[in-house]
A and B are shown apart, each in its own frame.
Chain A
Amino acid sequence: DAGITQSPRHKVTETGTPVTLRCHQTENHRYMYWYRQDPGHGLRLIHYSYGVKDTDKGEVSDGYSVSRSKTEDFLLTLESATSSQTSVYFCAISESGSGNTIYFGEGSWLTVV
């Protein structure tokens, strides 16, 4: 298995509170991604990073921000959580952004009440 660790794995939070999900990799891969998975929508890209301090938006980036201060760590922040952000969040990594295998973490289950 690819060396990807997500934390927390499960979290329940209240509407309006900030939430940060963490992703840590031991593969030294350049690219890191955050996806969300919802029934009927598959895997949707939230944000991705192509290097330290280099990030870009995916298709569902509204309400989310990210930071990457070290190669191995990629943080996803919900500044003010809403019920529509209840989802399963997957971190993923790849050596490059094109034509390379994307490896997924085990997921973080977030419930916003």
Chain B
Amino acid sequence: GENVEQHPSTLSVQEGDSAVIKCTYSDSASNYFPWYKQELGKGPQLIIDIRSNVGEKKDQRIAVTLNKTAKHFSLHITETQPEDSAVYFCAAGGSYIPTFGRGTSLIVHP
């Protein structure tokens, strides 16, 4: 089955800096890569996703890039704000139920 590795497990940045979270996957058949944000005490919520027919997707301060050859994809958050502090999960899927990474705890210091 699919194996998703996510790094780093914890990321601490100053407000205004950029943050990058990276994931690798093992199954070359995967073609759907969502990212979720989980705030304390809540369920994960989709923030952005990308499919294998595009290499990059942006939505305001967040962007996701995909390198299918290397089988890795990344989440980029620019101009971080304290409200970006949360746990972020990547996932990889395709013809099967997505497999999730173990999560990255992002801490944005004011």
Contacts and interface: CB of A to CB of B under 8 A. Distances in A.
A83 to B, nearest CB: 22
Interface in B25-74: 31-32, 34, 36, 41-46, 49, 51
Interface residues of A, number: 21
B89 A105 contact: no
Contacts of A107: 41-43
A98 B32 contact: yes
Contacts of A42: 6, 89, 100-103
Interface in A41-56: 41-45, 48
Given A42-B89, A99-B32, A90 B97 contact: no
A101 B43 contact: no
Contacts of B6: 42
Q: How large is the interface on B (under 10, 10 to 19, 20 to 34, 35 or more residues)?
A: 20 to 34
Contacts of B36: 104
Point out which of A40, A98, A105 has the most chain B C-beta atoms below 10 A from its C-beta: A98
Contacts of B32: 98-99
B43 A106 contact: yes
Given A42-B89, A43-B89, A101 B46 contact: yes
Contact of B34 (A33, A97, A101): A101
